[in-house]
């Protein structure tokens, strides 16, 4: 696995690097790296941020790596967070305005993220329309917006929307530093707000999320 040669890494000027001790750990840490245009190497920015992952730890995004038979593979309902390298999408929240350069959408009573594998809206955030509904299960984001979805960033995992590979993966506010998620990456509200303010789509930010044994490879060969 030579992460340092991944094309997304070459294009990016902003990295969010999440590491966990192993594939089954639900607690981890996030470090932020940046480089100015024209620079080859990344520099670390600010302090380490504690995060929580899926209740059962990490699972490999099978588009990212050829995995061994015994390695957990990301699946719908696995309560694991995807391990791999991902771009970031729209930011969401209950507030009318958030200080971020990301595309921001206020959550309404009609905002749902669809986790029904049989729906044509699978792994999409939609505004509910009774004439368009074709799903059996979904996350009612408004009901969760006083809690974990006070602020959130959509992680572009399973962008092809392949059934059963996992859906509705966000960075969001944690319930507790001692409680894992259903598959998202979560942190304190203050830390997530800091990240929202820092991220700039023009700098092509990416999330790298891996067990710590692979992290040293992330920033190698950059100088």
Tokens of 69: 């038979």
Angle at 203 between CA 199 and CA 206, to 5 degrees: 65
Closest CA to 216 of 19, 15, 9, 36: 19
Query: CA-to-CA distance for 80 and 68, rounded, in angstroms?
Result: 17
Q: Quick one: pLDDT at residue 222? A: 44
Residue segments in the chain with a per-residue pLDDT below the cut of 50: 221-223
Closest CA to 89 of 183, 165, 153: 153
Q: Quick one: pLDDT at residue 4? A: 75
Please state the pTM of the whole predicted model. 0.94
The SS3 assignment for 130 reads coil
Q: Quick one: pLDDT at residue 14? A: 97
């Amino acid at each position: 696995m030579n992460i340092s040669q991944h094309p997304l890494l070459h294009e990016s000027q902003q990295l969010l690097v999440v590491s966990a001790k192993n594939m089954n750990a639900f607690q981890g840490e996030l470090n932020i790296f940046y480089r100015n245009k024209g620079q080859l190497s990344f520099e670390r920015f600010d302090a380490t941020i504690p995060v929580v992952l899926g209740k059962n730890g990490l699972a490999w995004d099978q588009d990212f790596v050829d995995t061994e038979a015994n390695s957990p593979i990301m699946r719908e309902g696995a309560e694991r967070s995807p391990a791999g390298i991902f771009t970031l999408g729209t930011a969401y929240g209950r507030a009318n305005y958030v200080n971020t350069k990301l595309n921001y959408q206020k959550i309404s009573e009609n905002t749902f993220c669809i986790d029904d594998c049989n729906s044509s809206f699978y792994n999409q955030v939609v505004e509910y329309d009774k004439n368009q509904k074709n799903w059996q299960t979904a996350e009612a984001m408004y009901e969760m917006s006083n809690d974990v979805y006070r602020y959130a960033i959509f992680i572009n995992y399973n962008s092809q929307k392949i059934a059963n590979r996992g859906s509705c993966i966000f960075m969001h506010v944690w319930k507790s530093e001692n409680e894992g998620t259903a598959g998202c990456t979560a942190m304190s509200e203050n830390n997530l707000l800091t990240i929202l303010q820092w991220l700039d789509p023009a700098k092509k930010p990416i999330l790298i999320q891996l067990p710590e044994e692979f992290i040293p490879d992330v920033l190698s060969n950059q100088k």
